[in-house]
Structure 1
Amino acid sequence: MSKNSTALLLLASLALPTGAFAQSFDLVIANGRVMDPETGFDAVANVGINNGFITEITDQEIAGARVIDASGHVVAPGFIDYHSHAQSEFGHKLYVRDGVTTPLDLEVGAFPVKNFYEYWDGKSFVNYGTNVAHVGARVAVLDGQEPDGRVLYSPALGAAMQDGAKFKTKTFDPLDEGAIIEAIEAELKQGGIGIAYPIGYYTVVGSPELMGVTSLAAKYDVPITTHVRYLAQIPPSGFMGITEMLTIARENDVAMLMHHIPSNCLGLTKQCLDLIDSARANGQKVVGEFYPYQYAGTYVDADYNAPGFEARMGIQASDYKLAATGEPLTNEEFDRLRKEAPGTDLLMYTMKQEYIDEAFARPGVIVGSDGMPWIITDDDGNKLGFTATFDTPYGKANGHARGAGTHAKILRMVREEGTVSLMDAISKMSYEPALFLEDHVPQMKIRGRVQEGSAADITIFDPETVTDNSTPKIGENSLPSTGIPYVVVNGQVVVDDSVVQNIPAGVAIRNALAN
């Protein structure tokens, strides 16, 4: 070897960091209790992150451009929520404070989906995505209104509801089916994750239409999701609605997510979950979902709120409250709103804790918040619009507390009740949702896990203090969770010492665009 070569090797060795092969990371999460539901890994370790991915998990000390000391905290996969209607910066801000890195709207979806993805492109601090809205296709075809694709209650959908929309009043007509199928297929070609059937809100739709549309899910190898017909525990019941959709999914051989089982089945929750278990045992890919609240979000003119709700759900008018003010309804006020303001948002107290506990303890049932849009009101409770922005102060928007506190409440239930293990609870909020979609959307194969090679979507929480703070009270239902001081989305620290950073860290979760 020449003298020059020897000198070059000496200079190179001097330039290396201490420990010749030590690696420096963009971000290190140190000393945390790392929990990975897929592998069962549960140990204090250091996590190294580079270029948005977890590249090392080790018990050895590692260095990084930034180090977060997670001592005394759990380092978990970022939570994945497939039931998010709070698709706004304010809604996303509450979600990340609750540990959610991927809030998707799979229950209602969007129409057209292109508008949804274009809106969030390059500016979302969480991962974002949506299903194709079957209801949106019906509104477009039957009512001639095109929803804007970005928000759940678009002006077009609101106008259609006020006008006695055909999408929710016209019974099945084979002459409509071709145009509806064509409209949905166009949106699947735009990368929609799957097809959403929130038919609890338009129960007139015919089963043959659902069967025909679901053939598209089989054709494009995408899942379906459903809010089943009949919020009732007497015939026609939620149990009947689940039976219908299980049949449609089975006959088309497609995967299915069934939203908020206790909310639809009420006193038949155990029987509904048993039915889903039986379908799974017979080879169907189907998962159930629940949220941990005894009251649900709805609106006045939903089918299940029609006269006779007392017998169907076992509640009275006073069990409904105006979402904007918290004021309970009377029979007279309910009748007035049906005529004058059918789109008025309500909270309804329908569920018992035993229904929630049954779903939480059941394998194969995941968590979904069903977080609703956040409403800005005046001092009299009059709706000013869905205008909450990133800078809207916490507590100044009205909606359902589950859009702010679902996941922290689950973690608090683990701590206080102990009936479900912490690992199982984390799995229901991260790995199991990812597992449901990963065969259809490859991006989910690298989410819901804390493993080398996974996307660095990470939630860091204190298991001894994490808690929800949102309540049904006006001024308190949009209070953020606490005890989750850091949340990482694709390697970027989006919640930093409990402060949300409005940075474009999120990526689109979608299927490939068709030519």
Structure 2
Amino acid sequence: MADTVIRNATIIDGTGAQRFTGDVTIEDGHISEVGSSSSAAAVEVDATGLVLAPGFVDVHTHDDGALLQHPDMAFKISQGCTSVVVGNCGFSAIPAVPGENTLDLSGVQANWSDLEGYRQNVESSGPALNAMMLVGHNTIRSLEMGNERRAPDDQELERMQQHVELAMEQGACGFSTGLVYRPGRWSDTDEILELAKIVAPFDGIYATHMRNENDHLLEAVDEALEIGTKAGVAVQISHHKAAGKRNWGKVEESLAKVDAAVAAGAEVTLDVYPYTAGSGPMVQYFDIDNPNPELAQAIQLASCPAFRHYEGRMLVDIAAELGITAPEAVRHVLTAPDGKKTICIQHVMDEGDIVSNLRHDRVMI
């Protein structure tokens, strides 16, 4: 007798085949049969009218800390995600300094220094899903160089390479960058290339939040593809978009660049979120001394420890209420105590570009 049979489900099996109605039999925690099952089972589930599919892999997350803080991962399991990739955008929970907060977006206190120690902590928490780790460039650069606005010297680069190599040896799936963020924005292509080369012998990937996603999107795509080709690694372009109204439509051109690279033998994939806004730490998107007025017009405050009553509001409305300009409101928020902890939403994308992305066979959500 089988453990479980799910009957009459609309099955989408993940192979690209057409959906079909059928049964799935589960024995000893494994799928033993897909199709029409005559097996008796201890548990039978009637899935008539429901879709049954393999668990989704969320390839772009910042769940490094959530795996420890919220191991039930209900916010992912409830959406059908059974695996996550962490360490994106150049920010990872490893390497870390024991006793200090990690340099990923969660900022949890670490009692580990490397991926092996992090893995042991995650396994102890008993997370409800699977996880893979990218080692983040911003994290290793911060550890070795702080926020220095310069290229690394030979010794600093070598130490960064050692961090990447150790992470790969311990099971990381690749190396990530966030080249719009500090301190990654102060690196040049050669620095990233020398680090990306380390993952090649491990068959790892290079995942990148590119250097630019607006006026210089196409040049940023060129850089990502160049790094992948010269390093001999697969490239994953993170949350592909063309930000800012004057750039809407450029995704067609950047996707054409990807198609050309693939035709020439490169391995390139992309991910996208299916909505017209992005989010992140507000301090990373603005020069406090000279805030971008166009971007300021598109900002909504999601989390604002300095001014909780601003949360959920557009920055332009806050500025009007205060009798100041939107750029002045940026400074008002970011220079307040805890202002740099503000998380903002940027309404900068076009629905048509999202459709273009989702229609492309190398783009995933």
TM bin, normalised by shorter chain, reads 0.7 to 0.9
Larger RCO, structure (CA 8 Å, separation 6 or more): 1
Instruction: Please state how far the C-alpha of 1:186 moved relative to its aligned partner.
Output: 1.5
Matched, 1:221 2:203: yes
> What residue identity is the alignment partner of 1:140?
L
| 2:298 is the alignment partner of 1:309 | no
SS of the equivalent of 2:145 reads helix
2:263 aligned to which of 265, 281, 284: 281
What residue in structure 1 maps to residue 177 of structure 2? 197
Q: Which residue of 2 aligns with 1:378?
A: none
Answering whether residue 332 of structure 2 is matched by residue 351 of structure 1, we say no
Post-superposition CA distance 1:317-363 (Å, at most 9, x none): 23111112112223222023343423321111000101111101111
Q: Cα offset for 1:39?
A: 5.3
Specify the SS of the correspondent of 2:160. helix
Aligned pairs for 1:158-173 within 5 A: 165-166=147-148, 169-173=149-153
Residue 139 (structure 1) shift: 1.5
CA contact (8 A) 2:25 2:32 kept: yes
Which whole-Å CA distance do the structure 2 matches of 1:252 and 1:231 have between them?
A: 22
The alignment partner of 2:45 has SS state of strand
Counterpart in 2 of 1:128?
Answer: 131
CA apart distance, 1:176: 2.1
Counting only pairs closer than 5 Å after superposition, residues 76-225 of structure 1 correspond to structure 2 as 76-87=53-64, 88=66, 89=70, 92-108=73-89, 109-112=92-95, 113-122=115-124, 123-143=126-146, 165-166=147-148, 169-201=149-181, 202-225=184-207
Q: CA deviation at 1:279?
A: 0.7
CA change 1:84–1:263 in 2 (3 A) is farther
C-alpha contact 2:60 2:271 (8 A) present in aligned 1? no
1:217 deviates by 1.2
Q: How does 1:89-488 map to 2 (within 5 A)?
A: 89=70, 92-108=73-89, 109-112=92-95, 113-122=115-124, 123-143=126-146, 165-166=147-148, 169-201=149-181, 202-233=184-215, 237-262=216-241, 266-267=247-248, 268-303=250-285, 307=290, 309-310=292-293, 315-324=294-303, 325-329=311-315, 330-340=326-336, 341-367=339-365
TM-score when scaled to structure 2?
Answer: 0.80
Inter-CA distance 96–119: structure 2 relative to 1 (3 Å threshold):
same
Q: TM-score, normalised by structure 1?
A: 0.58
Q: Give 1:60 shift.
A: 3.4
- Answer yes or no: is the 8 Å Cα contact 1:83–1:105 preserved in 2: yes
Q: Out of 21, 24, 34, which is 1:47 matched to?
A: 24
How has the CA–CA distance of structure 1 residues 270 and 173 changed in structure 2, closer, same or farther, with 3 Å as cutoff? farther
Tell whether the 8 Å contact from 2:10 to 2:21 is kept in structure 1 after alignment: yes
Deviates more, 1:31-40 or 1:188-197: 31-40
The letter for the 1-side match of 2:93 is: A
Q: Residue 300 of structure 1 contacts residue 337 of structure 1 at CA under 8 Å; is this kept in 2? A: no
| Contact residue 243 and residue 348 of structure 2 kept, 8 A | no
| Structure 1: distance between partners of 2:261 and 2:72 | 35
- Equivalent pair of 1:45/1:57 in contact (CA under 8 Å): yes
Quote how far apart the aligned CAs of 1:91 are.
8.3
Q: Aligned letter for 1:240?
A: E
User: Separation in 2 of the partners of 1:284 and 1:102?
Assistant: 26
Q: Distance in 2 between matches of 1:198 and 1:273?
A: 20
In structure 2, relative to structure 1, the CA distance for the partners of 1:316 and 1:251 (3 Å cut) is closer
| Structure 2 letter corresponding to 1:191 | G
Conserved 8 A contact 2:239-2:272: yes
Measure, in 2, the Cα distance between the counterparts of 1:91 and 1:240.
41
In the alignment, which of 37, 47, 50 is matched to residue 70 of structure 1?
A: 47
Q: Distance in 2 between matches of 1:120 and 1:240?
A: 38
Q: Which has the larger radius of gyration?
A: 1
One-letter amino acid of the counterpart of residue 327, structure 1: R
The 8 Å contact of residues 261 and 272 in structure 1, kept in 2 or not, is answered as no
Task: Please report the RMSD computed on the Cα atoms of aligned residues, expressed in angstroms.
Answer: 2.1
Q: Mean alpha-carbon deviation: is it higher for 185-194 or for 54-63?
A: 54-63
Amino acid at match of 1:94: F
Q: 1:180 to 1:61 in 2, by over 3 A?
A: same
Change in 2 beyond 3 A, CA 1:354/1:305: farther
Percent identity, aligned pairs only, is: 22
Asked if the contact 2:295–2:346 (Cα under 8 Å) also holds between the matched residues in 1, the reply is no
The AA in structure 2 aligned to 1:25 is: A
Contact 2:25 2:33 in 1 (8 A): yes
CA contact (8 A) 2:291 2:330 kept: no
| Aligned partners of 2:173 and 2:204 also within 8 Å | yes
| Distance of aligned partners of 1:293 and 1:206 in 2 relative to their CA distance in 1, 3 Å threshold | same
| Aligned amino acid, residue 95 of structure 1 | K
Shift of 1:83: 0.7
The 4+ residue runs of structure 1 with deviation greater than 4 A are: 263-266, 303-306
* Structure 2: unaligned runs, 5 residues or longer: 96-114, 304-310, 316-325
Structure 2: distance between partners of 1:219 and 1:252: 10
Secondary structure of 1:38's counterpart equals coil
Aligned length: 314
Whole-angstrom distance in 2 between the partners of 1:27 and 1:54: 9
